[in-house]
Structures are given as structure tokens and as C-alpha cells.
Structure 1
Amino acid sequence: MKLLIVVDKLLTGFDAPPCTYLYIDKSMQDHGLFQAICRTNRLDGEDKDFGYIVDYKDLFKKVENAIAVYTSELDRSTEGPDPDVLLHDRLKKGKERLEQALESIVLLCEPVEPPKGELEYIRFFCGNTEIPADLKEREPQRAALYKATASLVRAYANIADEMDAAGYSAANVARIKKQVEHYLNARDTVRLASNESLDLKAYEADMRHLTNTYIEADEPRKISPFDGTSLLELIVKTGIAEVISSQLAGLKGNKDAIAETIENNVRSKIIKEHLNDPAFYEKISALLDEIIANRKAKAIEYEEYLKRIAEIAQRIEMGQAHEAPPSLNTPGKRAPFTIIWARTKSWR
């Protein structure tokens, strides 16, 4: 939710930690006013420690009075920091946060090999596709990248329209904007390559209930049959060429980056599903290793590589060996068959 318009409710007792801005366009005072402005002071991760109030009713003096009333009732007898509420210079604090966020993400991404393109980010944050454990072991680095990018975007958005007033030159404004875009693209590339893009399908029913219950709108009209579909499912349904042109166009035709993105998605699926049918997924993992090795050694043409990786994607989506009888229609039924088959003959 990006915008919430409140007429009468949700100004007091409403807890929404991501809320950062409050636009006031109604007269309030004392406790009600203080409760309203406190909607923005909930912590939301380590990168949010205050919020912003946009005052259309010239209530600033009333805010000061409300703060004075509140702080006069605080217990100052206990040890610890002074509980006074302080008013800060917004642009000064905003600039400090932006500089800290930039410094943090630059340090995090410093080990990425030059020229720090899509492929280099994929290899640093996802690892070597020939080493199955790499994707899992580099999960903490990816989590740090996602968190650092979110902090940078929030800090930049808070003063993006007032960079001049915050003391930035035109050259620095352009430089920072370019940096933010660079790290946003890097995060999206890593998310796609590691199969960690957020899947909202699990929350779809609850979100639809909330929307239908509390928001008046026309009936939704589906414009694509592939919403919520994973990269591997799209490869099976539309073909690998279509996926490359539609989903991986941002990699600008970088064949290695495209290949490693697909390989990491395949590897992620193998890791997640391995316990459902160990023998089957171990065989698939071995096939993937072979294809990766052939690609890197240039032992096969790129078109042949894409054909073979698409076949693997199809096998994974089917979730079974080609020889498994149709009656074995669940992972639990197929697992014993696959183990016995793998011990007696090759099903490749």
C-alpha cells in the first residue's frame, strides 16, 4: 500500500510501521494531534528512525504545544537517555542518511569484479553455477544487498525533490541519481538470478478479500495469463526465446548473464524440491552441471545450450522422469519409482 486517505478513522491506535509521511488537512489539537503525528514514528527496520509531517493546516505551533504537554508527563526519574522529543532539521538529517546509505552499499559491493555489470553482480552474490552449494551459501550477501538497497531508496526518496536545498551541486545530484539507479538494477538482477523475486500468490486471497471488502472498484480484468508465474514455468509455457526477450531483456543480450540467471533459477528449484524426490533431483543436478561445464568450455553452441537448459526446465516442472507411469501423479508416489529406476538403468 502506497497511499491511504483517512477521513475519520485510523489516526489514533493505528500501527503501520512502513508509514513515513503524514499529510495533515484537518484541524486537530492536543492529544489527538500528537497521536496522529505519531503514526509515522514506528520503526520499520534499521533504516527508519523518524517520519515526516506535511502540514496543510499550519498546525506547527499546536504540534509544539502537544509535544510540550506530552514531555511534561514523562518519567525522568529512571536512568537512561533524556525522553524529550526533539525536532530535527529535516534536510540536514535526510542528507546524513543518504550519505550513510550510499557509503554502506558502496562498501558492500566493492568486492564485485570490474566492470561491475550484471554478470559480475550475479557471480558475486549468487556464486558459481557449477558449485551447487554456492547459491545457498551466498544468501547472507544477497540479504545484505536487498536491505542496503531499500535503505538507499528510502533515504534518496526522502529528499530527491530538494537536493539543491540540501546542499548538493547539480553534478552531485546527477551522480547520486545514477548510483541509485545502478544499485536498483543490480538488486533486481540478483533477485531474478537467484529466484528470490517476491511471490505474492500465497497472499492473493487475503489481499482480494481486503480489497473487495473495503475498497469500491470495478471488477479486475486480467490482461496476462502468466501473472505470478516463475521463470521456469514461463520457459515451459512460452519457450525460452520468449522468456529471454520479455523477462531478461534488461540484461541487454549478455549471453553469460542470461545463462547464469537461468542456471541459478534451475539450481534454486532443485535445492527447494530435492527432498521430495532425491534421486530424480540428483540426476537433474548432474545434468545441469554437465550443461554448465559444456557452456563454459564452449563445447556446445549457445543455441544448443538454450535447447538443453529448456529441456531441463521442462523436466523440473513436470517433476518426474520421462519413464514414470502417469498413475504416479504425486511426488510421494514417484519418489520410490525414481530411486529404483535410477539404480537399474539410466533414464536420461
Structure 2
Amino acid sequence: MRVLHVISEMGAGGAEALVAGMVAAGGDVGWESAVASGGGFRVDALRDDGVPVFDVPVARRSPAGVARAAWATRGAVRRFKPDILLAHNVSASLTARIAAPRRPLVTVFHGVADADVTGAVKLLRRVSDTVVTVANAAAGRLRDAGLGSVAVIPNAIFPEPARTDRATVRAAIGTPPDVPVALCVARMEPQKRHDVLLDAWGLVPGKAELWLAGDGSLRPALEDRARRLHGVRFLGTRTDVRDLLEAADVTVLTSDWEGMPIALLESLAAERPVIASDVDGVREVLAGGGGVLVPRRSPGQTAKALRGLLSSPTARSVAAARDGGGDALTLMKSYDELLRTVLEGR
């Protein structure tokens, strides 16, 4: 089965990590994969592995932008000749449908803000043969907004070992071996609410450090906000998240909403306890243990959880304990069954 993944960009986000993992593991379930994308550091790695990658400009929600992206995606369809298109998120689904009106199209819905759910459903009902979400809560929101049939395939990660040991990572960043570290891996965009995290960090005393891995439009404002705080390090976009997890003690995510964040799953796989906002997809993941849920937009409760875990290795060990969890092979088999069912029904 020839599968063309359509995604706006292939940078550091969770959807991008999922695409990279699915492409790498596709051969295990009989896929030949290609990617149509607006670029990003993962594109180079895919090309190095011999994966066909087609350049598609990011649509940016403008009619002209969508037209340019659709035209480029149409070229990718002509050249790769996929049996099916797998579009990641709503804008990529629109682009894919315009580019290939008669080919089967499955949308992976990673999530949108509450205010955008109704609009997303209206579009997905028109363009997608099947919609799959990464969490039960997201599926419920889509159904409530009028999307009748929604599949659920929980996210999973494609684990990789740390390449660099804890001491080496810390030395490169300039962090002493005995300093407790909280790590946040997230794009610096409004959804992730780094402002809440920085307000919480102002309530965490001592010599602990907060590592912020990621970049985005809010970075200059966040750097300005962090100047009055202790121990905040802006690491930029990183390709070594597994190594950062090895060197950190706790991870934290203060998002307003999430589908099922890959950063959270990566933290659990590395046995690092998570402090995260009590929002839909996060709540589902931590139902089996692995961390502490805090109320959304609550610097005080976030700070309390940070103080508790950063000050006590025993508390971290207890918080990190977890039962079960998804795996990459199960995810791939679920997607394979879904895509083949859609093909058989066309």
C-alpha cells in the first residue's frame, strides 16, 4: 500500500514526530511511504533514509496559500501515485482533497482549540473519507459538533535510546550535576501557555533550573518575561529530546488544550514524571499513572507540584510509576487496518 502523508511542516511538533515514526515503521506493515510537507529538520533525516519527500508550501489559511499548497501536493500525487492520502490536521486535509479529489483521504485529527472545533467539523465532513483522532476526548468533541463517525487510535511513540549520557548533556548546557531540572518540550505558541509556566517558576525557590526546549512566535516575549526569574534556560529547537529527558528530572506541560501530546509520551517512556494541565488528552494518558495533573491556568498548583517533585527523588519515583501504555506496533497495525478498510470501501 502506497501512503502519502500530507502535513504542513516536519519540525519539532508531536504530529511531525508521529509522521516520522510511521514512515520509518511503515515497511513492517507493508507500506511504501512518502511525505508532502513544507519542510523542517525532519525532512533531511527522511531524505537521508531514502524516503520520497515532496516540497509543499505552508498554506497559512489564505485562499492563495491553499491554492499553492494544493498545486504542489497535486504534483506529489502525480509523481508518487499513492493508493491513499493520510493528512495530518485540518488544513492539510483541505490541501490534500483539492489536490487529489478522487483518491481516498484519511484525516488524523491531532486537535484544535475549542473555538475552532465547529469549523473543523464542517470542513472535515466535506473533504475526508474517514477521520481518526488521537484521543477519546477529541473524538467526543468532534461527535458533539456533528461529525458522525470518528475512529480513535491513541498516539504512541517510536522509542529510541539516549545517545548522550546525563552528565555530558548537562555539561554542554552548563548545568551542574546536582541541580534539579524541569524540562518543557513545547512550541512557543499561545496553546502551550508558557506564561503560566513562567509564573509558576517564579514560585519555585532554590537552585533548580527550568529548561525550555522549543521555539516560536512568543519566544522574545517569554525571554523578556523570564529575565526576572532564576534558572530559566531557553534551549531552542532540539533534535535530541531523548537526551534532554535523560538529563532532566521532571517534565512539565501547561497547555490550554491537547490532543495526545507526544512530548508527554516521550517523558513517560523515559520514566520521567510529568506535571501537566488537566486537559482532555493529557488526562487520558495520565489515567494510568506517570505524573501529576494540575488545574489549567494555575501557576500556584503547578508550582506546588514542581516544588514537591524537584525536591524529592522518592516523590519523583512514585509519580513516574505507570501501568501499561501504548506501543508503536499496535499503533501501526491499527492504522494499517483502518487505511485498508477505507481502500476496500472505495
| TM-score of Structure 1 vs Structure 2, range by shorter chain | under 0.3
Structure with greater Cα Rg: 1
Greater per-residue helix proportion: 1
Q: Normalization by structure 1: what TM-score?
A: 0.24
Greater per-residue strand proportion: 2
